[in-house]
Structure 1
Amino acid sequence: MQYRKLGATGPMVSAIGLGAMSFGGIFGATDEGESLSCLDAMLETGIDFIDTANIYGMGISETVIGTWLASRKPQVTIATKASFVAGPDRRIDNSEAHLRAELEASLKRLGRDHVELFYIHRREQSRPLAEVVGTLSRLIEEGKIGGYGLSEVAPYTIRAAHALHPVTAVQNEYSLWTRAPELGVIQTCKALGIAFIPFSPLARGMLGDAPIARPEDGFRGTNPRFSEPNFSANLAKLTAFRAFAAERGWSTPAAALAWVLQQGDHLIPIPGTRYAQNLRQWVQAAEIRFTPEDWAEIDRLLPPGWAEGDRYGDHQLLAIERYC
């Protein structure tokens, strides 16, 4: 496993992290034993960076990770998030009271007195950014968090926040089928010494070795890219990429992650799974090196904009900053 720096002043972490959203049952029924086995496999492969959030299963993901941390006592870097207020009036809350309360609850579930990285899961547009960054900087001073991050934000927010207090990491969706960060986020993070953390780098399961059935879970089931006719069209376009990877002795997810890793040494993708066997398919990614011919073939097979359908439906756009 290769290692990369988590922001200008953060720790060295594995070049690939583990996204723990599915531990909370977001994509279907989950099993604690299965999740614990996945975390064990993660450690065996050299991955030491875990990304979770308070709302993943309404605390279930953090609780499972806390159980694992208590029994294994590994040396790992933990990132978590807060901002969503669940319920019928689902909204974003970046207030100091909310962020502090949610962080304390997360720390209790994780069995820790601090986390290395704490994100605002979304930006509350009506609240002054200086107020939010002020809260986060105080949490750093108090030793509750090692650094702060932003999620689903635009380059202008990154620059403004960083001018107030250095940002450790920015987490936006980025993969072979979601390329918007190439229009400013990746470059801004590079220029400012901020780690860019691509989530869903395997296209929410589409970039696996085998085609998936159309998902019926609450998140993907109503997502435009997973709705027909888009879903079938996207599956068909990925057939040739799977063959491309197989011909070179690579798993499809390893090839897709290698593509992300080679966009810059400040990128640390966090693919998600709760299955140990899926995780083991990723490790090869850090060793793959594309030739000029490989790059040309990938661009031919999956050019920017190839995916059909928006990455989010209108009902999924709460507080996501659009900039292109």
Structure 2
Amino acid sequence: MKKRKLGQNGPEVSAIGLGCMSFAGFYGETSREVSFATLDAAWDAGIDFLDTAELYGGGLSETIIGAWQKERGKRFKIATKGGIVLGAPRGTNDNSEEHIRASIEGSLDRLGVDHVELYYIHRRDWSIPIEAVTETLETIREDGLIGAFGYSEISPASLRLAASVAHVAAVQSEYSLWTRQPELGMIQACAELGTAFVPFSPLGRGILGDIDLDPHSFRDTDFRKPNPRFIGRNFAHNMEHVRALRAFAHDRGWSTAATAVAWTLDQGAHLIPIPGTRSPEHLKDWAGADEIAFSEADRAELARILPPGWAMGDRYSYQQLVGIERYC
């Protein structure tokens, strides 16, 4: 697996990381055994960078990762997130130093480590200026609990304000062939500031794969159930484009998932995508995406069949949009 640098001063990590939200059942039932098998497959593929959060199952994802590391005697480079008040109504966030420190300490305990390589503010607390939050994070970094810090789902303007206080190692936002908003300033701002840009959901929450999804089979607790892009006419329209992507990929001997991840890698050397899965078989579909090299003709064809804005429907429902900083 090729390597990329996690921010200006950060360590080198695998060019593709593993998003671990699925370990907490956000997309369907899973188990400790299957999660362990997925982590085994990631390690064997050369993936050494995991992304998790306090929110994922109220610490369940972190607990599974910690148990795997203890049992296997191996150590991933880990990014985790906090700042959302667990058990409170959606949109209740707390970025105070007291809350962030308590969240970090809980994460470290569940992960079984004394520090993590990267810590994100999962969602902004609008009552506290981002400069003040950055001061808090820099103090915690100096204390040695975190190697670096970043923010999730912020705007380029907020990134620049934070970076005026201290180096922001990474920004995490949804970015894929069907979600292109970061092209309107965030990818460029990260490159300018030496900040890694970490695309989550580079597989479009599972739609950019070789198997048709069936939204009617989604459980009520599935994160995609209320998502506009998976409903009715929107979903039918979107699948037409996905099938064109599949044909493009298969003509070249690539899986659709690997092609989608490779596309994010191709958008800049500072991008580190973190596709998520709860299946070792699905992980193997895209783990070799760093070896795909697009020709100019390939790039032109992808731009033709999947132009910016092709996806029908918003990327989140109104309820899911709470706390997201929108800038366009």
* Counterpart secondary structure, 1:9: coil
Paired with 1:31 and 1:301, the residues of 2 have a C-alpha distance of 38
Question: Is 1:181–2:175 an aligned residue pair?
Answer: no
Aligned to 1:229: 233
Aligned to 1:280: 284
Tell me how far 1:218 sits from its aligned partner: 3.7
Paired with 1:73 and 1:231, the residues of 2 have a C-alpha distance of 43
Paired with 1:88 and 1:320, the residues of 2 have a C-alpha distance of 17
1:222 partner amino acid: P
Taking the TM superposition and a 5 Å limit, the aligned residue runs for 1:93-242 are: 93-214=94-215, 215-216=218-219, 217-242=221-246
- Please tell me whether the aligned partners of residues 250 and 284 of structure 1 are also in contact (alpha carbons under 8 angstroms): no
Tell me how far 1:284 sits from its aligned partner: 2.3
Aligned to 2:43: 43
1:320 partner amino acid: I
Tell me how far 1:115 sits from its aligned partner: 0.4
Paired with 2:154 and 2:273, the residues of 1 have a C-alpha distance of 17
Q: How many residue pairs align between the two structures?
A: 324
- Please tell me whether the aligned partners of residues 17 and 47 of structure 1 are also in contact (alpha carbons under 8 angstroms): yes
Tell me how far 1:318 sits from its aligned partner: 1.4
Aligned to 1:30: 30
- Please tell me whether the aligned partners of residues 15 and 269 of structure 1 are also in contact (alpha carbons under 8 angstroms): yes
Aligned to 2:314: 310
2:147 partner amino acid: G
- Unaligned runs of 5+ residues in structure 2 are none
Aligned to 2:66: 66
Q: Deviations over 1:72-115 (max 9, x none)?
A: 12242100000111335331111111111111111110001110
Tell me how far 1:124 sits from its aligned partner: 1.2
Paired with 2:313 and 2:171, the residues of 1 have a C-alpha distance of 25
- Please tell me whether the aligned partners of residues 122 and 151 of structure 1 are also in contact (alpha carbons under 8 angstroms): yes
Paired with 1:32 and 1:143, the residues of 2 have a C-alpha distance of 30
Paired with 1:5 and 1:26, the residues of 2 have a C-alpha distance of 29
Paired with 2:28 and 2:44, the residues of 1 have a C-alpha distance of 26
- Please tell me whether the aligned partners of residues 92 and 122 of structure 1 are also in contact (alpha carbons under 8 angstroms): yes
Paired with 1:153 and 1:88, the residues of 2 have a C-alpha distance of 21
1:125 partner amino acid: W
* Counterpart secondary structure, 1:161: helix
Aligned-pair Cα RMSD in Å:
1.0
* Counterpart secondary structure, 2:274: coil
TM-score, length of structure 1 as denominator length: 0.98
Paired with 2:70 and 2:140, the residues of 1 have a C-alpha distance of 24
Poorly superposed stretches of 4+, deviation over 6 Å: none
Question: Is 1:2–2:8 an aligned residue pair?
Answer: no
Paired with 1:196 and 1:313, the residues of 2 have a C-alpha distance of 24
